[in-house]
Amino acid sequence: MLSYWEQQSFIRYDHIVIGAGIVGLSTAIELKDKYPQQRVLVLERGLLPTGASSRNAGFACMGSLTELLDDSQYSSEDEIVLLYERRKKGLEILRKRLGDERIGYKANGSYELISDTELPALEQMDYLNRLLLPITRQPAFKMANEQIQASGFSASYTKAMVENTCEGELHTGKMLRALTDYAIEKGIEIKTGAEVLRFEEEAHYVAIFLKHDLRNEELVLHSDKLFICTNAFTPQLLPDEDVVPGRGQVLITQPVQGLKFKGVYHFDKGFYYFREIDGRILLGGGRNLDFGGETTAELTITERIQIDLEEKLHGIIIPGTPFLIEQRWSGIMAFGATKQPIVKSFSPRVYGAFRMGGMGVALGSEVAQQLMQLIV
């Protein structure tokens, strides 16, 4: 039961966004820019954002050589170029909006370790460079074999190394903190611990139903428009959408003495990724070891994948160097039949932007801009 005062001042909004990840926050910021006088509210089910945006590896990802070649088996050239362009544009928006220092953006380089069986991919590097040139204006990929020995990677695994000239890295925590602060500075309201159970469209508003355990009742907010930015968790609200959760597991070491590399790295078609951060190694991936088990929205870790990650540290990344693991965690990504994100109008009042795959850091800000184009 609401009080008169609550009913008057806390229930009605012009725009409600569900999800306080990079897409939800960017959408709220775009809305406030477009409609500065209107009330914008973000609802987040967790006390902290609880999906992928605060739990990822912080690569400003464009796609590695083998990953883009892999994509080309089931995407057209136009689709590959378009997605690359959208990631590039998204990263530009994010960097301009928050500034490199605030998000810990660094251009320390991005590289892919090429194994024996992947060597044929090098023959297609010129083709991909030509395909992407209208967007990159410089070759996206170039050989960097001279760095293999200097970086200390296993020579028996790393038969070649390719530099990706367009990728960078950022500090995921600083970025999401800065995006949240930026949204609050603009006058956007954010409520955490606010899980949306369902929504119903009425003639003149959308009714949004939230859990309200303390009062043992549902709270119903009214909004002129609703924006669903819930990525892997979208099927709870929109069960017909092609969204499948995919867990990503990560570990970080304690500082490693004499670490020889900086920057961000991929191997095995992007299924593994690692970087140097604060003298430590952050390593994630291994979903391809157990696709069935990792098709889950559970924020837990498994022994099988964590052991595999440690083996990759021993065998490929720092062979012969002792290390200790400081922390392990997981986050949930969203996949579907294609790698294209879903940006959609469900009605003149209900919109959605979700299914960011493993690339939302660069893509998220652009997707939010696309969503604005759909508003009636």
Q: Which residues bind ligand FAD (CB under 6 A)?
A: 18-24, 43-46, 49-53, 55-59, 61, 195-196, 229-233, 236-237, 248, 250, 284, 331-333, 354, 356, 358-362, 364
Which residue number, 3 or 373, has a Cβ lying nearer to ligand FAD? 373
Rounded to a whole number of angstroms, the minimum distance from the CB of residue 4 to ligand FAD is 27
DSSP secondary structure code for residue 117 in this structure: G
The answer to whether 184 and 163 have CB atoms below 8 angstroms apart is no
Residue number with CB closer to ligand FAD (122 or 219) = 219
CA distances from 49 to 169, 174, 367, 373 (A): 21, 14, 19, 26
Residues comprising the chain, all counted: 376
Residue 95: which H helix or E strand, with range?
helix 77-98
Residue with CB nearest ligand FAD?
51
In terms of CB distance, is 141 or 331 closer to ligand FAD? 331
Toward ligand FAD, which CB reaches closer, 45 or 339?
A: 45
Contact yes or no for 347/71 (Cβ under 8 A): no
Identity at 158, one-letter amino acid code: T
Q: How far apart are CA 79 and CA 62, in angstroms?
A: 14
* Nearest to ligand FAD of 159, 290 (CB atom): 290
**E strand spans, 232-370:** 244-253, 264-267, 272-277, 280-285, 325-335, 342-345, 350-354
Minimum distance of ligand FAD from residue 142's CB (angstroms): 21
CA–CA gap between residue 254 and residue 326 (Å, rounded): 5
Cα–Cα distance measured from residue 162 to residue 144, given in angstroms and rounded to the nearest whole number: 5
Pick 67 or 118: Cβ nearer ligand FAD: 67
Instruction: Quote the least distance from Cβ 61 to ligand FAD, whole Å.
Output: 4
In the complex, the smallest distance separating the C-beta of residue 123 from ligand FAD, rounded to whole angstroms, is 27
Nearer CB in complex with ligand FAD: 56/253: 56
Least distance to ligand FAD from the beta carbon of 119, Å?
25
Instruction: Give one DSSP letter per residue of 71-83, joined into a string.
Output: HTTTS-HHHHHHH
Q: How far is the CB of 80 from ligand FAD (least distance, A)?
A: 16
Nearest distance from C-beta of residue 218 to ligand FAD, angstroms? 13
